[in-house]
């Protein structure tokens, strides 16, 4: 579902990024499995909160920031204006080419997507991974039914669970972080 944020929402997110950037977003980016030369997708990048920390870990790779919202993507362009290894893509997961990414990550995105849309989004994300590629998500644990749907759809699409942990995130509460490998 397409949704454009208000200016206030973008402002408040920027404020949260300034206050909690390291403890929330950098902490997640630091756990992503990068060597530095990967092709990586930030699905639902928002204003680039995680991308800001992920891009600097890819000196010889490339980060694609994808968002369905023009306004969030413009805010992301602003956050990442100093990086040369980032490209911006506005639209849906269906735009993605098959087997083009080594790592795909989703940070607080999938829980907001309806079940019927997830049935399109998750296969598109898994197809966009190269064989051996890695999918990582971090989503709030509050909606356990949604988490079950996400996990079910990912495993239906030939991804093998590798790691799983629960973290307590400042302000946001408990979140589930799962890592999957594409066979
Ligand atoms: C809660 S925000 C999280 C943004 C960022 N990942 C973060 O953690 O700060 C969710 C983002 O996902 C985007 N989004 C929602 N559904 C989407 C879809 N089907 N395809 C691409 N982006 C989507 C929204 O526009 C929004 O920017």
User: How many C-beta atoms surround the C-beta of residue 164 within 10 A?
Assistant: 11
Tokens of 73: 């993507």
Across the chain, mean pLDDT equals 96
What is the pLDDT, as a whole number, of residue 41? Answer: 98
User: 167: pLDDT confidence band, cut at 50, 70 and 90?
Assistant: very high
Question: Is pTM, for the whole model, over 0.85?
Answer: yes
Domain residue spans of the chain: 7-182
CA dihedral of 39, 42, 47, 50, whole degrees rounded to 10 = -90
Q: How far is the CA of 150 from the centre of ligand 1 (A)?
A: 15
* Residue 55 buriedness (CB in 10 A; 0-12 / 13-18 / 19+): buried
Q: What is the pLDDT of residues 75-99, one digit of tens each?
A: 999 999 999 999 999 998 888 999 9
- Residue among 11, 46, 49 to mutate when testing ligand 1 (max atoms within 8 A of CB): 46
Q: By percentage, how much of the chain surpasses pLDDT 70?
A: 99
What is the pLDDT, as a whole number, of residue 1? Answer: 60
User: 176: pLDDT confidence band, cut at 50, 70 and 90?
Assistant: very high
User: How many C-beta atoms surround the C-beta of residue 91 within 10 A?
Assistant: 13
Pocket of ligand 1 (CB under 6 A): 3, 44-46, 49-50, 66-69, 72, 92-93, 107-109, 112-113, 117, 121
What is the pLDDT, as a whole number, of residue 2? Answer: 62
The CATH number of 7-182, from 3.40.109.10, 2.40.50.100, 3.40.50.150, 1.10.3720.10, is 3.40.50.150
């Amino acid at each position: 579902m397409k949704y454009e944020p208000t200016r206030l929402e973008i402002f408040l997110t920027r404020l949260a990024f300034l206050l909690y950037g390291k403890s929330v977003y950098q902490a997640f980016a630091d756990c992503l499995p990068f060597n530095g030369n990967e092709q990586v997708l930030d699905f639902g990048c928002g204003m680039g909160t995680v991308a800001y920390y992920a891009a600097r870990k890819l000196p010889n790779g490339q980060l694609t920031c994808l968002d369905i919202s023009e306004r969030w993507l413009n805010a992301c362009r602003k956050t990442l204006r100093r990086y040369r290894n980032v490209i911006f893509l506005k639209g849906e997961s269906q735009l993605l080419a098959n087997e083009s990414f080594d790592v795909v990550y989703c940070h607080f995105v999938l829980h907001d997507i309806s079940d019927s849309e997830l049935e399109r989004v998750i296969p598109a994300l898994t197809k966009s991974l190269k064989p051996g590629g890695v999918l990582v998500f971090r989503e709030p644990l509050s909606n356990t039914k949604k988490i079950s749907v996400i996990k079910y759809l990912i495993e239906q699409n030939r991804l093998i669970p590798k790691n799983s942990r629960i973290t307590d995130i400042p302000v946001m509460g408990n979140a589930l972080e799962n890592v999957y490998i594409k066979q």
